[in-house]
Structure formats: C-alpha cells, structure tokens
Amino acid sequence: MTRSYSLDLRERVARFVECGGSCHAAAAHFGVSVSFAVKLMAAFRRTGSLEAKPEGGWRYSKLDPYRDFLMRRVAETDDITMPELAAELAGRGTVVAPSSISRWLIRNGYRFKKNATGQRAGPPRRRRRAPGVGRPPAKDAA
C-alpha cells in the first residue's frame, strides 16, 4: 500500500508555489508528480491545511440497512439463491450483484455448509466394492 508524502515535503511544495512558482515547476523541482502538486494546492486553498487525508477505516455497504431482511430470508428459505435475493432487493429499490450479496453474508458471519443429502455422489472409481467381489479365490493352505 502506498504512503502519503511527508508533511515537510508538502510544506516545501506549497511554499514554492506560494512564492510565485508554478505547480509544474514545483513538481519538477521536488521530484513529485504534477497532479500531486495541483491537488495539494487545490486542497490547501480550499481547507487551509496541508495534512494528508486519513486512509482506511470502515467501509459502508449499501446492504447494511437490509441486514434483518437478508438474514430473515436466508433463515426462512435455506436453499434461496443469490440471484433470487438480488431480485428481491431490486424490488425494494436496491440494485446489487449476486456476488456482492454472497460476500456481504460471509463478512457478516453467515456460513453455508451442505448437509448429507445435498452432497454430490463420488465418482464410480471411489465406491466401495461388495465383500468378496473382485477378489481372487482363497488358496487352500492344506
């Protein structure tokens, strides 16, 4: 992950531009991109601060307001599909992709484990043979 430029560098770039230099000249002089110098000066003129904006933090999900609805629907109908949930949410005015519903459910602690009846049968080569079938006859030891 990238890091913000130091406050010292930000102050030097801003001082250079405030003393009459252009953003392009400041970028060339301090070895930063032109877009950094332009955005830094625009933010400085707007807010009066050269501090970097905070990074990270909590991400908002548009599915959070529907938490109770989603958990209730999954509990009521255990075999509901993500496209069906997406269609129900679209009926309520929120358009989301089925994959984002799946990721949201996992992030909120819902796990799906298949039961014994829902599991796929194994391939034929893995099946157990009946006792005595396919074995050579036993030799007499006497």
- For residue 135, pLDDT beyond 70: no
Mind listing the pLDDT tens digit for each residue in 87-117?
A: 999 999 999 999 999 999 988 888 766 556 6
Q: In sequence order, which residues have a C-beta less than 8 Å from that of residue 50 and are 6 or more positions away?
A: 7, 10, 11, 14, 40, 43, 44
Q: Interior CA angle at 113 toward 127 and 103, to 5°?
A: 130
pLDDT in tens, 12-61: 999 999 999 999 999 999 999 999 999 999 999 999 999 998 888 777 78
Does the predicted TM-score (pTM) go above 0.85? no
**What are the distances in angstroms from CA 7 to CA 40, 44, 59, 92?**
11, 12, 26, 47
According to the model, what pLDDT value does residue 22 have?
Answer: 96
Query: What local confidence, expressed as pLDDT, does residue 110 receive?
Result: 81
